Amino acid sequence: MKRTTLISIVTGKSAFIQYSFLIACLFFTLAGNAQQATLTAIGNVSGAPAEMKQSELKSVLMGETQRWKNGKRVVIALMKTNTPLGKTTSSKIYDMTGDELNKYWLSLVFQGKSQAPVFFTSVSELQNFVAQNPGAIGIIDKPMAVSDVRSVMIDGKPSF
Amino acid sequence: MKIKLLFTPFLYLFIAAASYSQTTQIRGFLDVTGAYNKKATFGFGEQDLYITSAISDRISFLGETVFKYDSEAHSEFAISIERVIITYNLKDNHNLVLGKIHTPLNYWNDTYHHGRVLFPTIDRPLLFSQNIIPLHTLGAGFEGSNLGKMKFGYNFFVGNGLGSSEVEDNDRAKSVTAAVHIKPADRLRLGLSYYYDVISAGADVHGMDVDHRVNQHLISASVARFGKKFELLTEATTALNHTDTTGTKTTLAGYIYAGYKIKEKYVPYVRYDNIQYQNGEMYYNKNNKQSFVAGFRYEINYLAVVKLEYQHIDNEFGVNVDKVTAQFAIGF
């Protein structure tokens, strides 16, 4: 009778099949998450342009641009960093964790270099804020267009 | 008619400011320390309150006030107004700046101010604590940031200079600060600055009377790289102090800090400081110093940081210092 040892479990053929299955599951889970993690930039029609490059968007959202070309002051609207969308925004746009992003803004505002973004807990609040504030730009999860708000195409795409 | 024309822009400015919905925030920093240097001791550092306010679409205000222990004050506490800055956005990323600022000579001085939760180490480097550079300047100037592909920035500031009070200049000479920086890559900043001032004979600077008129030139450079894992910050200042009796004496001061994030919240770090004065230096209190710091930072979150640090200070005059300090710094 063949004895089942720890080594045989880890190295055996059945283990190979199990690992393959696990890796496949992991791959599909990650692929699913990546699909959920698309972002869209929305802007008030008075200020934010209809199209931007990703690098320009990052620069604006880092507080490096004080005014749009039409002279309107840039106002940044983001989801709170403890929300799923806020976490995705932090990692995908800023390449930071939520805490790093909060620290970044704390430091920048303390230096007097920029106005702090306005943070929201719901997408609808963020959309309303962008609609009501000329110069506002925000990040949400899917394209939308309502009065005074438009989706900003990033590198020619509505989502990124 | 001329008077009307003169006041029209101010009228527009007033109307614009009045019609703007003002946003004001009050926040602050505080730290509590425990240290061991032949005896264990506890204390709390500065309580720093800062206010930011968007007054209008173009005008903003920042005020920073520190409450700290002062053995000479009647209540044993002193209030110090560290910054009062009115910024007027001229165009795009160019601003007019008025008030009392932290002199934008160095990265540390212009970035961390009194926010100890933001400091990478427990205390400021010796370059700042030994009064090598003027920490504050009261005056007016221009600043720009993130210009072009290299994210070029500049500061040009004219101030009352050393020896002046918070309300008036003590002499006719003005200090001049000119600084430039670039950010050629994410999380990397390179800076260069120049400062000139004439410190009058009889001026009271940092609680000491200056006997001779001093012409001071400060040239500083900094490299700051706070990457995802590796942190590097190094700054150096060359100070040229000229008096008629001693001629020009050179002081070299600098430090290098390096930290490495072993996990998102854990950062072991080291810092080395060095200040070397030329013989015959009269303006600074000549005492060549070296310091070595090794510490560990635990960032609980962006508003709470614990640091544990060992520091050895080697003094040319006086006893050397060996101490262990723990600090709990918070933002609120």
**Does residue B32 surpass a pLDDT of 90?**
yes
Retrieve residue B215's tokens: 């012409």
Retrieve residue A141's tokens: 């999860």
Q: Across the interface, do A110 and B115 touch by the CB < 8 Å criterion?
A: yes
B182 in Cβ contact with B165 (< 8 Å): no
> Rounded to an integer, what distance in angstroms lies between the CA atom of residue B270 and that of residue B21?
46
Share of chain B above pLDDT 90, in %: 76
**Burial of B325 by CB count in 10 Å (0-12 exposed, 13-18 middle, 19+ buried)?**
buried
Strand partners, B154: B144, B180
What's the whole-number mean pLDDT along residues B225-237?
Answer: 97
List chain A residues with CB under 8 Å of B58. 73
Q: How many CB atoms lie within 10 A of CB B285?
A: 12
Which of A 99-138 lie inside 8 A of B, CB atoms? Answer: 99-100, 102-103, 106-107, 109-113, 115-116
The answer to whether B301 faces chain A, any CB pair under 8 Å, is: yes
Q: A146 or B280, which is more confident? A: B280
Retrieve residue B187's tokens: 């999380």
Using the structure block, give the residue that is written with the tokens 């045989």: A8
**Burial of A110 by CB count in 10 Å (0-12 exposed, 13-18 middle, 19+ buried)?**
buried
Retrieve residue B77's tokens: 């506490």
> Rounded to an integer, what distance in angstroms lies between the CA atom of residue B38 and that of residue B29?
29
Residue in B27, B89, B30, B21 with CA at minimum distance from that of residue B52: B27
Share of chain A above pLDDT 90, in %: 69
Least Cα separation, residue B52 to chain A (angstroms): 8
Q: Across the interface, do B60 and A116 touch by the CB < 8 Å criterion?
A: no
**Does residue B169 surpass a pLDDT of 60?**
yes
Retrieve residue B289's tokens: 């110093």
A146 pLDDT tier (thresholds 50, 70, 90): confident
Provide the CA B177 distance to its chain's centre, in angstroms: 13
Provide the CA B207 distance to its chain's centre, in angstroms: 19
> Rounded to an integer, what distance in angstroms lies between the CA atom of residue A129 and that of residue A120?
9
DSSP run (H or E) holding A107: helix A98-110
ipTM of the assembly? Answer: 0.88
pLDDT tens readout for residues B279-291: 999 899 899 999 9
- Residues in CB range of B31: below 8 A, 6 or more apart: B44, B45, B46, B116, B117, B327, B328, B329, B330
Q: Could you give all domains of chain B from N- to C-terminal order, each with its CATH number?
A: 87-331 (2.40.160.10)
Tell me what pLDDT residue B203 has.
86
Tell me what pLDDT residue B167 has.
86
Retrieve residue B98's tokens: 């008025």
As a dihedral over the C-alpha atoms of residue A11, residue A12, residue A18, residue A23, rounded to 10 degrees, the angle is 40
Q: How many CB atoms lie within 10 A of CB A1?
A: 3
A126 pLDDT tier (thresholds 50, 70, 90): very high
B60 in Cβ contact with A111 (< 8 Å): no
Retrieve residue B221's tokens: 């450079």
B104 in Cβ contact with B84 (< 8 Å): no
Q: Which of A142-151, B27-36, B319-328 has the lowest mean pLDDT?
A: A142-151
Phi, psi of B76 (to 5 degrees): 65, 15
List chain A residues with CB under 8 Å of B151. 64
pLDDT tens readout for residues A10-68: 445 555 555 555 555 444 444 444 445 799 999 999 999 999 999 999 999 999 999 99
Tell me what pLDDT residue A24 has.
52
List chain B residues with CB under 8 Å of A111. 110-111, 113
Least Cα separation, residue A101 to chain B (angstroms): 9
The answer to whether B10 faces chain A, any CB pair under 8 Å, is: no
